[in-house]
Amino acid sequence: MVRDATRDWVKREVSPIIEDYCQRAEFPTQLVNGLGEIGAFGPYIPAEYGGAGLDQMSYGLMMQEIERGDSGVRSTCSVQSSLVMYPIFAYGSEEQRKKYLSKLATGEWMGCFGLTEPDHGSNPGGMISNFKDIGDHYLLNGAKMWISNAPFADVAVVWAKNEEGRIHGLIVERGMEGFTTPETHNKWSLRASATGELIFDNVKVPKENLLPNKSGLGAPLGCLDSARYGIAWGAIGVAMDCYDTALRYSKERIQFGKPIASFQLQQKKLAEMITEITKAQMLTWRLGQLKNEGRATSAQVSMAKRNNVDMALKIGREARQMLGGMGITGEYSIMRHMMNMESVVTYEGTHDIHLLITGMDVTGIPAFK
Ligand SMILES: Cc1cc2nc3c(=O)[nH]c(=O)nc-3n(C[C@H](O)[C@H](O)[C@H](O)COP(=O)(O)OP(=O)(O)OC[C@H]3O[C@@H](n4cnc5c(N)ncnc54)[C@H](O)[C@@H]3O)c2cc1C
């Protein structure tokens, strides 16, 4: 039910407009209310805090269907759900939960998540953003880069070090003096998602805005686990849309007097695509079961994110070739998906970093430091 309802909504609201927004490099803000209404913001956050109270499988299927529409729209949902609502729910005080979660669930407030810095991407633990205790408030300084939703976010969950060098999460609100969010332009990828910087110049953050219940690098990494799980599902949506498009086109396109689907080389592509999609679905479905039971490990999430995004990238490329010249136009979704996946393969841990996490999991030896 969740899958079908989300699919219908995406077909109706996202598919007809997304190419145009992507071409213009603009986030379709008119989708926000509808995303709130279908429960795409905080699907697994309990209903008492405004979330949809669904299980992890439903969350995954929603991300699959939304990314089938566009990775930029799914990114907005992932950030809002797993990188803003989740840390406030899991690490926040009861007052913080009450103040922020229901407004974030409806989309009345939009959030962003500031971890990456200009000089610290794959190595967020090296961050230099910092805050000092000035008696009745904290003073926050530093800068974050590549932040999804930053240009329009009302609240930012920001990770910074205290005077002892310990990482904490702080909720920073738009309008606080010294806090600016310049937009990043000229992206060739994820064009329907707004990306920007977060700049903190002596920002006075009230003490009640510190997330009290978890600190250290494990806190932001816990949020990333949840978002990466959603990405593993989302990438399947991209692959399915590319596969469906290529299958349909190949049955209709006539060359040498026959549909191109009748040639063995084209069938090989389609057969391999559906095999890879099915394998990714099985991997992710099992991971969803483990998540529901509270048994999924970070390394398992890394394996699924890496595998499924790589699979979607490869399927996008094959599918695009099956459409010949038409494949490069905006008449079809494939090229937009392919370009989007270049961001998805990099953010939330790059392809290589996830491989090293799997390597560490099986050998016990971290090869990335
Ligand atoms: C569109 C977009 C949206 C994003 N949204 C957000 C967001 O909302 N919030 C946020 O905090 N961040 C966000 N990011 C940032 C993203 O998470 C980082 O880009 C990513 O973690 C990689 O960091 P980097 O770009 O600095 O690359 P680097 O860390 O500089 O890596 C460059 C290359 O070196 C490789 N590399 C690095 N270290 C090692 C190593 N030890 N061993 C082997 N290879 C290594 C990497 O795999 C990569 O190929 C976003 C990025 C993009 C592109």
CA dihedral 32, 34, 38, 40 (to 10 degrees): -10
Atom in ligand 1 nearest the alpha carbon of residue 193: 1
Indicate whether residue 76 lines ligand 1 (CB < 6 A). no
**In angstroms, what is the span from residue 353 Cα to ligand 1's centroid?**
9
Residue of 19, 65, 318, 348 marked catalytic = 348
Give mean pLDDT, residues 117-140: 97
Is 341 in contact with 316 (CB distance < 8 Å)? Answer: yes
Give mean pLDDT, residues 290-300: 98
Indicate whether residue 79 lines ligand 1 (CB < 6 A). yes
**In angstroms, what is the span from residue 123 Cα to ligand 1's centroid?**
8
Give mean pLDDT, residues 49-55: 97
Spatial CB neighbours of 61, under 8 Å, sequence gap ≥ 6 = 2, 3, 6, 233
Indicate whether residue 183 lines ligand 1 (CB < 6 A). no
**In angstroms, what is the span from residue 146 Cα to ligand 1's centroid?**
9
Which residue's CA is the closest to the ligand 1 atom numbered 29?
A: 122
Query: pTM score, two decimals?
Result: 0.97
**164 catalytically annotated:** no
Q: How confident is the model at residue 24 (pLDDT cuts 50, 70, 90)?
A: very high
Dihedral over Cα of 346, 347, 351, 356: its sign: positive
Which residue's CA is the closest to the ligand 1 atom numbered 20?
A: 347
Q: Is the pLDDT of residue 138 over 90?
A: yes
Indicate whether residue 119 lines ligand 1 (CB < 6 A). no
**In angstroms, what is the span from residue 202 Cα to ligand 1's centroid?**
26
Across all residues in the chain, what is the average pLDDT?
Answer: 98
Q: Is the pLDDT of residue 369 over 90?
A: no
Q: Is the pLDDT of residue 201 over 90?
A: yes
Round to whole Å and give the CA distance between 270 and 132: 57
Indicate whether residue 195 lines ligand 1 (CB < 6 A). yes
Q: How confident is the model at residue 21 (pLDDT cuts 50, 70, 90)?
A: very high
Indicate whether residue 100 lines ligand 1 (CB < 6 A). no
Indicate whether residue 27 lines ligand 1 (CB < 6 A). no
Indicate whether residue 348 lines ligand 1 (CB < 6 A). yes
Q: What is the DSSP string of 112-140?
A: EEE--BTTBSS-GGG---EEEE-SSEEEE
For 306-321, the pLDDT digits (tens) are 999 999 999 999 999 9
Retrieve residue 281's tokens. 């679905």
| Ligand 1 probe mutation, 146, 193, 343, most atoms within 8 A of CB | 146
Round to whole Å and give the CA distance between 144 and 200: 9
Give mean pLDDT, residues 55-75: 98
Give mean pLDDT, residues 353-368: 96
